Amino acid sequence: MGGGLRLWEIDVARGVAILMMIVFHTIFDLSFFAIFPVDVASGFWRYFAYATASLFLLIVGISLVISHDRAATKLSGLLLVKKFFLRGAGIFTLGLLVTLATWFYLPQGYVIFGILHLIGVSVMLSPFFFRFRAWNIPAGILCILIGWFVMSRISLLSPSMLLLPLGIYGPTFWSVDYTPIFPWLGVVLIGMGVGAFLYAGATRQFTLEPLTDLFVRPLSFLGRHSLVIYLVHQPVIILLLALVTGTKVL
């Protein structure tokens, strides 16, 4: 996020997360369209999905700190807040487009509050948390614990859909992508706290040996274009599966 010199390790980490996302969604589609019997709701693939989302959101938090520290050399006050509010609102709007598309294509499990919604809200809220620097780590852990507390009592609730962004949902709720504020904002906050340690002043605070271009270049490309890839990868995967297997997916 943000301008200035890019930190190659951030792009590479984001590229790894993109590859993990593509792998998981391919497996998910194989299961969803009954092409291959694989359980994505529990076991290895469930935890793989958690790991993928966690890596993405940690990088979001770290990137927010880097972007803020760079922007703070030119902007301050309301102008700095406005920068992150507008950026977050733009990402949230893309999330709403995903909601609309999945509502038409998959009404029984459409995306109400997915990872783009969560990232958009996190970016809009980030100006309230930048000042806490490393203290965002315990704040993030608390956010995660609140999420776990709520989830452990889901079966007792029949809440309004307006509470879905907070992680409060009924026992029959299902969505193909559900990433509520509690606990997932906590992962972003932990990333912000880690970023305050590792990239204070938007400068790498540790030494890092360069890796071979053969490894870095393709992953960096994926990382730099992660948003576009996120928006188009599922239709591409579904189309390829339909072409390869002859399965009707529309």
Rounded to an integer, what distance in angstroms lies between the CA atom of residue 76 and that of residue 237? 43
Is the CB of residue 228 less than 8 Å from the CB of residue 114? Answer: no
Residues 100 and 60: beta-carbon distance below 8 Å = no
Cα angle for residues 17, 21, 23 (degrees, 5° grid):
115
Which residue type is seen at 103?
W
Q: What is the mean pLDDT of residues 165-179?
A: 89
Q: pLDDT averaged over the chain?
A: 92
Q: Which two tokens stand for residue 35?
A: 């092409």
Q: Which residue has the higher pLDDT, 236 or 158?
A: 236
Residue bearing tokens 């301008």: 3
- Report the helix count and the strand count for the chain, using DSSP H and E: 8, 0
**pTM as predicted:** 0.93
Burial label, 173 (beta-carbon count in 10 A; 0-12, 13-18, 19+)? middle
**Inter-residue contact 141 to 147 (CB < 8 Å):** no
- Calpha distance 152→170 (Å, rounded): 12
Judged against a pLDDT cut of 70, whether residue 2 lies above it is answered with no
pLDDT surpassing 70 at residue 74: yes
pLDDT at 154 over 70: no
Report residue 3's pLDDT band, with 50, 70 and 90 as the boundaries: very low
Average pLDDT over residues 179-186: 97
Whether 29 contacts 166, CB under 8 Å: no
